Amino acid sequence: MAKLLKILPGPCYASHKVIILLLTGITFTFHYCYWNPKSQHVKSLLAGTRTAVGESHTNYLQPDALTPSRRDVLVLTPWLAPVVWEGTFDIDLLNAQFKLQNATIGLTVFAVKNYMSFLELFLRSAEKYFMAGHRVNYYVFTDQPELVPQLPLPGGRRVIVLRTQSHQRWQDISMQRMGAISHGARQRFLKEVDYLVCADVDMEFRDHVGVEILSSLFGTIHPDFMAVSRYSFSNERRPESQAYIPEDEGDFYYIGAFFGGSVAEVYRLTEACHQAIMIDKANHLEAIWQEESHLNKYLLYHKPTKLLSPEYMCDHDLLQDMQHRKKLGLSNIVRRIRIFALLKNKEVKSNNASQKVQSTDGR
């Protein structure tokens, strides 16, 4: 090579010398980076892998195809939707995957009339347990915007107050939610959030409720109907109602206090329920459990892609049963109480807004 360079003209000799030096430098860099154990990221890129810059290694137990995560409960529906229980998911793994979506979650809640008394506890407990570490928009529907508590929130989490009208009857207050959520989804939620969770205000978050609940469309199994046949479900049985479900149909009975999914799917659900409620109203009908009856009708024919166990809506009766079984040394399928439905105080009862819940307890 040296002899060849010497016989070349001056300008050519100089340019070729530069090229050879560059090639030598590139070759040396390639070999150093490839064989240096500290340059795993470079090797992965050279190998054509998709490792992201700054991506960390995650340790977790390998799934075992022959060992289900829980043997004492249903963890998969016949239409292949997972049922979420404690012990069926790895939240660290889910959080790592979810952060790749760079998504924002919306949480809708209605605080109307005397139900405003529940709002502060709802928001404070949600800040402690709901979607910790993720961006959240709390959409508070209320007829009393001036009474919404001002809570200190970290970056990426905010309270958005939306004025809504009140009604004299608690049934009308309950049913208006579907129309309000549908309207909100069409007007702003589709632009502002990726997932929408819809909750009752008279409840408290008591343990972690995170991205494990999120799916295209999810519903929550009612604790009072966890282990009964479909013939015992409290569905609407009058054929003339839009919420009608025959006695020989039904997968689960879903509580109306906690449901959600992608904004698009929640919009379809709430709009369909709102239209069905309006048709019933025009025909002077009201489903037995108002919007909850219409929710169950919709989820029967539009199967949810994920179901939440009663861990996500524990009531007073279920809590007492858990404590009783613990005293007797018996096992219990509900291992953690994540959301607790609060009992109504006298002030709310006097407003005739708690009859539905009281009747539900006695069903």
DSSP line for 19-37: HHHHHHHHHHHHHHHHH-T
Q: Which residues are annotated as part of the binding site? A: 110-112, 115, 200-202, 222, 292, 315
Higher local confidence (pLDDT), 325 or 306? 306
Domain of residue 341 covers: 83-350
Instruction: Tell me: pLDDT of 346 over 70.
Output: no
Instruction: Tell me: pLDDT of 110 over 70.
Output: yes
Asked if residue 325 is part of any domain, the answer here is yes
Predicted pLDDT of residue 345:
61
Confidence of residue 182 (pLDDT cuts 50, 70, 90): very high
- Lowest mean pLDDT of 18-27, 159-168, 196-205, 323-332, name the range: 18-27
Residue 284's region, left for phi above 0, alpha for psi from -120 to 50, else beta, is: left
Asked if residue 291 is part of any domain, the answer here is yes
Asked if residue 14 is part of any domain, the answer here is no
Instruction: Tell me: pLDDT of 347 over 70.
Output: no
Residue 239: how many CB atoms within 10 A of its CB? 8
Which is catalytic among the residues 127, 236, 265, 292?
Answer: 292
What is the CATH classification number for the domain harbouring 317? 3.90.550.10
Instruction: Tell me: pLDDT of 203 over 70.
Output: yes
Predicted pLDDT of residue 62:
87
Please state the φ and ψ torsions of residue 196, each to the nearest 5 degrees.
Answer: -130, 125
User: What does the pLDDT look like over 122-167, one tens digit per residue?
Assistant: 999 999 999 999 999 999 999 999 999 999 999 999 999 999 876 6
Task: Give yes or no for a contact between 236 and 288, defined as CB atoms under 8 angstroms apart.
Answer: yes
Instruction: Tell me: pLDDT of 13 over 70.
Output: no
Asked if residue 23 is part of any domain, the answer here is no
Please calculate the CA angle 293-75-135 and round it to the nearest 5 degrees.
75
Using CB atoms within 10 Å of the CB of residue 108, give its burial: 0 to 12 exposed, 13 to 18 middle, 19+ buried.
buried
Q: Which residues are annotated as part of the binding site for UDP-N-acetyl-alpha-D-galactosamine? A: 110-112, 115, 200-202
Instruction: Tell me: pLDDT of 45 over 80.
Output: no
pTM given for the model: 0.79
Asked if residue 182 is part of any domain, the answer here is yes
The number of distinct structural domains making up the chain is 1
Q: Is 192 a catalytic residue?
A: no
Predicted pLDDT of residue 332:
87
Helix axes of 290-301 and 263-282: crossing angle, nearest 10 degrees: 120
How high does pLDDT run on average in the chain? 83
Asked if residue 218 is part of any domain, the answer here is yes
User: What does the pLDDT look like over 325-335, one tens digit per residue?
Assistant: 888 777 889 99
Taking the alpha carbons of 171, 321, 319, 253 in that order, is the dihedral positive or negative? negative
Asked if residue 59 is part of any domain, the answer here is no
Asked if residue 73 is part of any domain, the answer here is no
Using CB atoms within 10 Å of the CB of residue 75, give its burial: 0 to 12 exposed, 13 to 18 middle, 19+ buried.
middle
Higher local confidence (pLDDT), 100 or 8? 100
Query: What's the average model confidence in pLDDT over 229-235?
Result: 96
